[in-house]
Structure 1
C-alpha cells in the first residue's frame, strides 16, 4: 500500500503551511521534490527550505528530475503525454525508495485541487503496482495570496467570481455574464485581447516570495505597465508565476 499525501504549500512561503501540512510532512516515510531545470532553480530551493524549516522527524527527502512537456501536437495531447511521463517518474521513485509500500508526500504549489494536475497524475498510478490511497492536504491558493497582497475582497458585494486561464481568455475573451474574473496559468498577457474600458486589474507575481511584484489600476493604464514589468522579471529570474483579478465596473458604479 502506498499512502500518497498531496500537500498544498501555498506560494512558497513557509508561513503558508498549515499545521496539518507540517504534520503530514513529518509523518511521511518519503518526500519527493521535483527538479524543473536550472531556469526554475528557485522552485526546488523553496521546497528544500520548507523541508529544512519544518521537518523534525527523520524523513527521507529525495529529488528527481521532472519530465518536460513537449510542444508536438495539440495542447491537450501534449499535456496528457506529459502527465503520463510524470506518473512514470513517480512510479520509478516509488519502486526505488518505497518497494514495500509506505507513506509518500508530494509538495504542491497552492492547493492541489485548483488548477493543479497532481490528483489526475495520481490516478494514473492506480492499477499498476502497489495499492494506492490518496489524501489531499489543502493549502493557501495563489488567489488568496493575491487578494491578501492587495488587501481587496475577491468578489464584489453579493457577486460571483469566474476563475479561468490565460489560454481560455485569449481564445474566448471575457467570460459572458461575469463581472469579476481571476486569470491563472497565463503564459503571456492575455488581458491584452480585451477592451480595457471600465476594467480594473490587480496583478501579482512571485506572491509571498522575497521578490514579490504587484501592480494594480485601470486596465488601460496598468496593462502596458504589467506587460513591461512581467517581461523584465521573467528575463531576470528565468521564470515567472503570476495571477491577476479583473473586475468590470457595475452600472451602479460599485
Structure 2
C-alpha cells in the first residue's frame, strides 16, 4: 500500500523522569519508527534539559532523525490574575503552532513523535493538546501513546515505599490546592513542581515528607523525614541547587502518620 494512502501517525513517547535507562522497550521501538521528531522548547529551558533529551535519542536510535523545533509560547499564568483563562489562551497558542507544524512537516504514511518527560498521561498537557489537534486536522491522523516511568514512581522506588497504603486513597495535586494543608479525609498527597514550597507553610503536625529533586540524574537529591524537622533543610537544599543549576524539577509525597 502506498504511504500516501496511510494516515500519518503521532506518537507521544514517555521517556521517563531523567535516567535514559528508564526508557521502555516500547518507547525505544517508537523512537526507531519516527520519521520526524517535534521538539518543544520551553521559554526558559536550559542546556542540560536539551542535552538530556539528545542523549535519550542518541542512545536509543541508530539512524539520523529529522527534527522540527517548536518554541513554546510564554506562560502568562505565573503573573496573570485569572489563572484558568491564562492557561486556556496558552493552550490555544500551543494548539495553533503544533497544528501548523504537523500539517506542513508530517506527510501521509509518516510517523511524527513528541518526547514527553515522565509519562504522557500524568501532569502533562501534551496529550490533551494533541487530541485536539487530531480532532481539528483537515486529514486523518492516528495517535499512539507510549507510557513512561513517572517522577512519582521514581520517587517511591528511590525511597522504597509504596505509593498507596492499604485501604487509603492517594491524591496527586498541584501545590496551590494544599495552601491550607492536606484536605480532610486524605492521608497521602503527591505534589510536583512546588515553586512556592507550600510544604514549608502548612501545619506540619503528624506529617512525613519524601522529597526528591532531579530524579534519575547525576544531580539527584533525596530528603525524607518528619516534615517539622526537615522542611527547613529541604528549603536550603533546594535554594542551593537552583543557584547551582538554574532550574528545579522536584516531587514530594506528604504522608500522614497513622496511629
- Structure 1 length normalisation: TM-score? 0.91
Answer whether contact 1:26 1:55 (CA < 8 A) is retained: yes
Deviation at 1:198, TM superposition (A): 1.4
Q: Which digits, 9 at most, give the CA deviation of each residue in 1:115-174, with x for residues without a partner?
A: 11111111331224332222110110111110111122222344322221111112x421
SS in 2 for 1:217: strand
Report whether the alignment pairs 1:249 with 2:251.
Answer: no
Report whether the alignment pairs 1:85 with 2:73.
Answer: no
SS in 2 for 1:11: coil
Answer whether contact 1:87 1:122 (CA < 8 A) is retained: yes
1:135 to 117, 127, 144: 144
Answer whether contact 2:14 2:147 (CA < 8 A) is retained: yes
Answer whether contact 1:34 1:44 (CA < 8 A) is retained: no
2:72 to 66, 74, 87: 66
Answer whether contact 1:84 1:124 (CA < 8 A) is retained: no
Aligned to 2:127: 119
Q: Give the Cα separation in 2 of the matches to 1:237 and 1:189.
A: 18
Aligned to 2:202: 194
1:239 to 243, 247, 251: 247
In structure 2, list runs of 5 or more residues that go unmatched. Answer: 1-6
Aligned to 1:156: 165
2:25 to 10, 19, 22: 19
Deviation at 1:240, TM superposition (A): 0.6
Aligned to 1:183: 191
Q: Give the Cα separation in 2 of the matches to 1:138 and 1:39.
A: 23
Aligned to 2:217: 209
Q: Give the Cα separation in 2 of the matches to 1:39 and 1:9.
A: 17
Deviation at 1:190, TM superposition (A): 0.8
Deviation at 1:62, TM superposition (A): 2.9
SS in 2 for 1:124: helix
- Distance 1:215-1:139 versus aligned 2 partners, 3 A rule: same
Q: Which digits, 9 at most, give the CA deviation of each residue in 1:55-87, with x for residues without a partner?
A: 124432333322221143411111111111222
Aligned to 1:28: 34
- Structure 2 length normalisation: TM-score? 0.90
Answer whether contact 2:91 2:129 (CA < 8 A) is retained: yes
Deviation at 1:242, TM superposition (A): 0.5
Report whether the alignment pairs 1:52 with 2:58.
Answer: yes
Aligned to 1:95: 103
